[in-house]
Structure 1
Amino acid sequence: MSTKGFYKEFEVFSKRTHTAPMQYQFSLLAPNKEIALVMAQENFMRREPAVDIWVVQRGDIRKMSQEERQSLQRIDNKDYRNTKGYGYLKKKWRHYEQGMLDEQEIMSWGGKKKG
């Protein structure tokens, strides 16, 4: 019996708590999805708690083509949605603080000079 093509590649995802997002964990080789799930469970039971495990055959995962990825680029300028535009405020605040009155200036108003 030939072992070529006997094992399939599976990707394993898990969820630590009921409210946590599903996260990618690792890949494994198994003859079918049932054995892949058992192998994933055995791996997780020794390492960390999990409330849910997904096992997906790698061949069933569809990724975007280069043309499809280009469609994700922004068509119009929406930089105003990014908070990086507020970086100038730190410099502006520093300039404002430097222009504030210091103790020596305030004391000079009373005609008394400090020490």
Structure 2
Amino acid sequence: MSDKSRNFYQEYEVFSRRTDNAPMQHQFSLLAPNQEIALVMAQENFLRREPATDIWVVKRSDIRKMDQEEKESLQRLDNKDYRNAKGYGYLKKKWRHYEQEMLDEKEILSWEGKAKKS
């Protein structure tokens, strides 16, 4: 791509929603000379495949992402792990261990001796 065409086209990100209540979802990126043509291209490419109630076209350079320092500020400062549900997956293992302790090999073999004495 030459310098002239590289400056002519801009990168756009296309978002859409299927219904009025659905969240916006990123669909694809495209190259276009301006926002109006980017919207037309998005409609032509996307609406042929699936229905949508809304399409957003955003210039990639207008999207701001967090730098590393800002990402670090998202870390929790407090220790409230109890708020995160981890489920009860450990109970199956704990129950299996409990059952194995109840019926170990020595106990089962001792039943055989009691049965012969009766």
TM-score under structure 1 length normalisation = 0.75
Task: Give identity over the alignment, percent.
Answer: 79
Instruction: Tell me which residue corresponds to 1:36.
Output: 38
CA drift at 1:56? 0.1
Q: Which consecutive unaligned segments of at least 5 residues does structure 2 have?
A: 102-118
- Partners of 2:58 and 2:7 lie apart in 1 by 17
DSSP-derived class of the 1:47 partner: coil
CA drift at 1:88? 2.9
Alignment counterpart, residue 55 of structure 2, candidates 53, 58, 63: 53
CA drift at 1:41? 0.3
Instruction: Tell me which residue corresponds to 1:75.
Output: 77
- Partners of 1:33 and 1:81 lie apart in 2 by 44
TM-score under structure 2 length normalisation = 0.73
DSSP-derived class of the 1:46 partner: coil
Q: Which consecutive unaligned segments of at least 5 residues does structure 1 have?
A: 100-115
Greater helix percent: which structure?
A: 2
Instruction: Tell me which residue corresponds to 2:109.
Output: none
- Partners of 2:91 and 2:85 lie apart in 1 by 11
